[in-house]
Amino acid sequence: MLFEVLLALVVGAVILFVMNKIRGSEVLKTGDGWWGVGGRPEAGEETTIRPFHLSTSDEELEDLHRRMDQTRPVPSLHNSQFNYGFNSEYLQKVISYWRNNFDWRKQVERINQYPHFKTNIEGLDVHFVHVKPKSVPEGTKVIPLIMVHGWPGSFYEFYGLIPLLTEPSQPERCVFEVVCPSIPGYGFSEAPHQKGFDSVCAARVFHKLMKRLGFEHFYAHGGDWGWLVTTNMAQLEPKTVTGLHINFAPPSKPGLLVTLSILLGKTFPKLFGFTAMDLERLYPAVQHLLAEPLLESGYMHIQATKPDTVGRALNDSPVGLAAYILEKFTTWTNKNFRNLDDGGLTRKFSLDDLLTNIMIYWTAGCITSSMRFYKENLSQGLNKPHTRIPVVVPSGYACFPNELMHTPELWVRQKYQRLVSFTPMPRGGHFAAMEEPDKKINKIELQDLATPPPKFGL
């Protein structure tokens, strides 16, 4: 039996090696796009970069408070905690804090502490935060870095991380110049007005953004949808993206080696380099293996099929919007939080930070357009070209123990063929940038990826 397994692995490895050599020379292709209202102007698009300053008003807050005051609570079932969704009794406590204690004007000032801008790309006003180091000691290298969020996050989830990246920790190492854009349809970036805006389109737009800012080469980081957008950026222009760092990497199209590792990994873990954490996460009891994806993926089916239906309801109700989004910050942080009366919501986050993220969605009115990103990306399943093309830029992966989907190093290497680092993190879940800013993109790991600049064999 062992001989047959080893033979199958050897044959499979040879096939994969040849295929990867062929695919490794592939570059993701994309055409130009136009997502604005009407047709592309004959004079060409406006390329000005304009400062953006967030503001609020009495009318905006009065409307918000009126809608919260008119909410109709529904009692939760006895002893249900967060197993039926966001617990209604605890939701009332959150809404009470939001209504009576949360200071949106103060949070607007916090958001505005970093420079914000907008620029028109492919017919859309694209919003981004651009933070340069305040001081650069002699001998310290400045590394441009784009960081891309996901759903239901925003550019704000990186606010705890920005100061750690833009201040040099050691002389003669490096410091980062950080760009945090809002994906079109999210936050303060304009939503596409045409169908078809997917992750590859976002990647192309962000390449144009970085070039407009004067960066010929840069590093990229992403989690959640940001993982896919930055991965596509590396596939589109592997000589422009100097290095890639991600903390989410589900297998987009499992190949022979991944399939064999699933079937045989529990019996022969050393053959696949599986660690104790890999075995614990990949081989739970059968009922958990089947139930967990169903428990946490209902939102995805809705958003990948009929986002506009639920989007209209959430866009009208701040309480509904908060329940829908904040539920993800409980169970996606730790699945066991669903068994707590408060959902563990404030064990890793502050209500002020969570509600600031909600307010970005509320004031921008972007919940529907943000959910459409699922339909545009998932409507064709796994048949998109980028699922078949490997990433050949130097890459790093931060593996957080409470991430929604566990990806062993072997699986990550199938897609990211120049994996420089695979770092098991001591704690943290899906929203690691907000939850563990001191661990996420472990700064030293990024510095090691950046110094010295990797040379490409392309």
Number of separate helices (H) and strands (E) present in the chain: 20, 9
Beta bridge partners of 142: 175
For residue 339 the two structure tokens come to 């068994």
pLDDT at 246: 97
Q: In the structure, what pLDDT confidence band is assigned to residue 262 with cuts at 50, 70 and 90?
A: low
Residue 325 and residue 71 in contact, taking contact as beta carbons nearer than 8 Å: no
User: With 0-12 CB in 10 A as exposed, 13-18 as middle and 19+ as buried, what is 316?
Assistant: exposed
The average pLDDT across 427-455 equals: 67
102 CB-near residues (< 8 Å, 6+ apart): 351, 352, 355
Does the pLDDT at position 319 exceed 90? yes
Q: To the nearest whole percent, how much of the chain has pLDDT over 70?
A: 84
Round to whole Å and give the CA distance between 231 and 336.
30
What is the Rg, in whole angstroms, of the alpha carbon atoms belonging to the chain?
Answer: 22
153 CB-near residues (< 8 Å, 6+ apart): 224, 357, 431, 433, 434
Which of 374, 386, 397, 416 is an active site residue? 374
Q: Assess whether 386 carries a catalytic annotation.
A: no
Round to whole Å and give the CA distance between 39 and 106.
40
Question: How much is the mean pLDDT over the chain?
Answer: 87
Lowest mean pLDDT among 16-25, 94-103, 316-325: 16-25
Q: In the structure, what pLDDT confidence band is assigned to residue 274 with cuts at 50, 70 and 90?
A: confident
Does the pLDDT at position 313 exceed 80? yes
Round to whole Å and give the CA distance between 92 and 72.
10
Lowest mean pLDDT among 83-92, 285-294, 332-341, 449-458: 449-458
3-state secondary structure at position 391: strand
Does the pLDDT at position 61 exceed 50? yes
3-state secondary structure at position 304: coil
Q: In the structure, what pLDDT confidence band is assigned to residue 301 with cuts at 50, 70 and 90?
A: very high
pLDDT at 87: 97
pLDDT at 394: 97
pLDDT per residue over 169-210, tens digit each? 666 678 999 999 999 999 999 999 999 999 999 999 999 999
Residue 247 and residue 148 in contact, taking contact as beta carbons nearer than 8 Å: no
Does the pLDDT at position 91 exceed 60? yes
Output 5 or 236, whichever has higher pLDDT.
Answer: 236
225: Cα separation from own chain's centroid: 4
262: Cα separation from own chain's centroid: 26
Round to whole Å and give the CA distance between 136 and 180.
20
* CATH for 1-38+117-283+386-458, options being 3.30.930.10, 3.30.360.10, 3.40.50.1820, 3.40.50.300: 3.40.50.1820
Round to whole Å and give the CA distance between 89 and 94.
9
Q: In the structure, what pLDDT confidence band is assigned to residue 448 with cuts at 50, 70 and 90?
A: low
DSSP 143: E
Sheet with strand 218-222: strands edge to edge: 49-52, 116-121, 124-131, 174-181, 141-148, 218-222, 241-246, 395-399, 419-424
Q: In the structure, what pLDDT confidence band is assigned to residue 4 with cuts at 50, 70 and 90?
A: very low
Output 23 or 315, whichever has higher pLDDT.
Answer: 315
Round to whole Å and give the CA distance between 355 and 318.
11
Q: In the structure, what pLDDT confidence band is assigned to residue 456 with cuts at 50, 70 and 90?
A: very low
Q: Assess whether 430 carries a catalytic annotation.
A: yes
Which of 116, 207, 386, 430 is an active site residue? 430
Q: Which of 54, 314, 318 is nearest to 188 (CA)?
A: 54
**131 to 49, 153, 160, 161: CA distances (angstroms):** 15, 19, 13, 12
Q: Assess whether 78 carries a catalytic annotation.
A: no
Q: In the structure, what pLDDT confidence band is assigned to residue 17 with cuts at 50, 70 and 90?
A: very low
Residue 127 and residue 50 in contact, taking contact as beta carbons nearer than 8 Å: no
Q: Which of 252, 237, 223 is nearest to 332 (CA)?
A: 223
Q: Could you give the residue ranges of the DSSP H alpha helices within 365-405?
A: 367-378
Does the pLDDT at position 121 exceed 80? yes
Which of 127, 207, 219, 224 is an active site residue? 224
User: With 0-12 CB in 10 A as exposed, 13-18 as middle and 19+ as buried, what is 53?
Assistant: exposed
User: With 0-12 CB in 10 A as exposed, 13-18 as middle and 19+ as buried, what is 43?
Assistant: exposed
φ and ψ at residue 287, rounded to 5 degrees = -65, -35
pLDDT per residue over 136-174, tens digit each? 888 788 999 999 999 999 999 999 999 999 987 666 678
Please list the residue range(s) of the chain that carry CATH number 3.40.50.1820.
Answer: 1-38+117-283+386-458
pLDDT at 173: 72
Output 445 or 30, whichever has higher pLDDT.
Answer: 30
Q: Which of 51, 84, 28 is nearest to 330 (CA)?
A: 84
Q: In the structure, what pLDDT confidence band is assigned to residue 441 with cuts at 50, 70 and 90?
A: low
